[in-house]
Structure 1
């Protein structure tokens, strides 16, 4: 498609105004292939169409939902694939966000469970020390993973016996449980370290909980952005499948 699928041709400044991008950004996104190439008028001006507005708005929502690189790749796929492939790509994006949300909720539940245990009478006297093998089996991770977390300062086991074997007391076990939950929720090591550092503060559980809530809020915002992009994505797909005859582009104004 040459970009002039519907209605009166639009100048660069007009499409920028309607899409919320600057003229420079519009031209850059065109060069990157995020939007279809604009047609050129007889005097060399760019002549955009409504589909370009939809593509730019869709890109804005997709970039907020999944990042600019993935957004650009998805728009390129939408323009070249079938309707079924386009729908599958968008559905996959929703699935990924739903998975992130469930993983964050799982981490949140793990934090709450640990807090409930800490509030149980007699808990502070419990002696539930575990070996590295026992803890790895309980968390369904490799022993090497626990050693890596130790190297990163996330879990601090005790060293006992002349063999310097690791012994995980209740604090180390809880730290490993939180770390496992956060890693399972997709948190990188720096983010896990932030939560673990919060747990050491005066309001440790509260601050750690707020960090997880902020992550859930961020996932919700990305989900809404993806939903908002849906209408524009549908317009892009429809224009690619059923383009209108090209008008005779000769817009006035500055060169695009």
Structure 2
């Protein structure tokens, strides 16, 4: 567990506790925010002096700074959970948990880049569609054209991604121009590694006024957000290291 020294070295070797206002100034939070984050468990409870005032240390400051970076990278709830893991786990476990955050951000970036490539492929490929407006394709024909199973098309239909324009009295599906086009887009995005919710969102944007151009903008926007989150995690690096190494130190309380 984290070892929290009672006092903090200040100036010429003099050791004094940090006040709430000191911690707020060093962590760039308000005094109330420091108290709120302590209540939420972001930092351990500060011991009280004889006059009732809280006594903090630099370890609390590092934890608050680390929380700021983690919250920017993965969100406040996940950041609180991760800090709790760092506080109670071994050094190896803590290092692994932080590495997992970096890996997760890299995976999100790779998925977005794959979607961009899929979108470019969709726009550049010749259309495998019926020759005439009134022509349709059966589920078997469309599945063969996309190199997927008919059951895959049925699953996409169930998820609201691709719908046949009509179903005959024998329940045979017929896909028109719009449905074939949607199926091609879904196949490209799924092949690029995108999940169903993301495919649904991209399909929705393609039908909006901006069309593919709007989708490109949204994907670029997502890459920018991932970059900001990655930088937030990098900026927290030194403070995270301090939190992790303090977890290995024996407590000096008592």
Give TM-score, length-normalised by structure 1: 0.79
Instruction: Give CA-to-partner distance per residue, 1:145-184, whole Å, 9 cap, x none.
Output: 312233xxx4332224322422334542442344462794
Aligned to 2:165: 158
Please state whether the residue corresponding to 1:42 is helix, strand or coil: coil
Q: Distance in 1 between matches of 2:72 and 2:196?
A: 19
Find the partner of 2:211 among 204, 210, 216. 204
Task: Give a deviation string over 1:69-97, Cα, whole Å, max 9, x none.
Answer: 11111111111111110000001111111
- The equivalent of 1:58 in structure 2 is 66
Q: Where does structure 1 lack aligned partners over 5 or more consecutive residues?
A: 247-256
Cα separation, 2, equivalents of 1:186 and 1:37: 41
Q: Equivalent residue for 1:21?
A: 29
Looking at structure 2, the residues matched to 142 and 149 of structure 1 have their Cα atoms a distance apart, in angstroms, of 11
2: distance between equivalents of 1:186 and 1:50?
A: 43
- In the alignment, structure 2 segments of 5+ residues that lack a partner are 10-15
Moved more, 195-204 or 125-134: 125-134
CA distance 1:5–1:225, shift in 2 (3 Å): farther
Q: What is the Cα-based RMSD across aligned positions, in Å?
A: 3.2
Q: Secondary structure at the match of 2:159?
A: helix
**Separation of aligned partners in 1, 2:149 and 2:193:** 11
SS of the equivalent of 1:40 reads coil
Deviation at 1:134? 2.1
Distance 1:94 1:63, change over 3 A: same
Listed one character per residue, the Cα deviations across residues 102-130 of structure 1 (whole Å, up to 9, x for unaligned) are 11111111111110025x7x978488945
Return closer, same or farther for 1:178/1:59 CA change in 2, 3 Å cut-off.
farther
Tell me the TM-score normalized by structure 2.
0.80
Secondary structure at the residue paired with 1:163? coil
Q: 1:185 to 1:146 in 2, by over 3 A?
A: closer
Classify 1:156/1:123 alpha carbon distance in 2 versus 1 (closer, same or farther; 3 Å).
Answer: closer
Cα distance, 1:87–1:54 mapped onto 2, change above 3 Å: same
Residues in 2 aligned to 1:187 and 1:231: alpha-carbon distance in whole angstroms: 37
Contact 1:6-1:244 within 8 A present in 2 as well: no
What is aligned with 2:159? 149
Shift of 1:64: 1.2
